[in-house]
Structure 1
């Protein structure tokens, strides 16, 4: 009987160790290199916002956690925790596309002005009242 209990305890211990290793590796997985990655979709800010508002869940499945390139007019440039944040406006909507830039892009962002049209590539994280993009870079 004690041999059977030992095997069960050993099996559970091994499963816990495997689970911890997989969790650790998944948690520490490196981020996708946005600059070197190809975008999955390229569209205008108005089109992206319109799709999220009209198609909701389908747009979330299509764009969330994907690398997309968005073209739009700068509504606002700000900073958050030392990194630049660019807001792209949609002419026909109160919503916008909020792009959280990578730290390496701060020098380039300083040269931009409100009203200027730009291309931004980054990872879309979803839609609340605005479309949110993270780890963005400017595309020439």
Structure 2
């Protein structure tokens, strides 16, 4: 019986150490930085991206999530909250759009945008929660320049 107890305690300590290590690594993980020179993995139209998520979310998650994608679309709205800009790109419907959380260094470029402008943004796709979510976005091109 003492051997079983000893092995159980050793196993418990190893599992606890492993769990603490995983939590620490996840907490200190640095997010991907997106710049204009960062390689784009996928290029897609805003309406096509939204259609993918609306028709088969599981398949779209496998294809787009955690990848650096370029999205071409029309500016629906620009918001500024908590010192961060968010650009919403139009979808097919009134209620579905792509939320693009912009990088801090993009402030001057975002301030030049207007509702209705055709643009191309690059960012990391995080998934779909009523809208498609892109983080760390940079403005690649503005068609009216």
TM-score (norm 2): 0.83
- Offset from partner CA, 1:27-61 (integer Å, 9 cap, x none): 21111122253222101111111222222321122
State the alpha-carbon separation in 1 of the partners of residues 58 and 131 from structure 2.
15
- Structure 2: gaps spanning 5 or more residues: none
**Residues 14 and 129 (structure 1 numbering): CA distance in 2 closer, same or farther, change over 3 Å?**
closer
Deviations 1:105-140 (A, max 9, x none): 112211111111111111112223221111111113
Whether the 8 Å contact between 2:33 and 2:136 is mirrored in structure 1 is: no
- Contact kept? 2:98, 2:132, Cα under 8 Å: yes
- Answer whether contact 2:78 2:85 (CA < 8 A) is retained: yes
Unaligned runs of 5+ in 1: none
Aligned to 1:129: 130
- Tell me, in whole angstroms, the C-alpha distance in 1 between the residues paired with 2:19 and 2:129: 33
Residue equivalent to 1:83: 84
Q: In the alignment, is residue 111 of structure 1 matched against residue 112 of structure 2? A: yes
Deviations 1:37-90 (A, max 9, x none): 322210111111122222232112211222211011111111121100101113
Give the number of aligned pairs. 139
- My pick for the range that moved more, 55-64 or 41-50, is 55-64
Runs of 4+ in 1 over 3 A off after TM superposition: 1-8
TM superposition score normalised by structure 1: 0.86
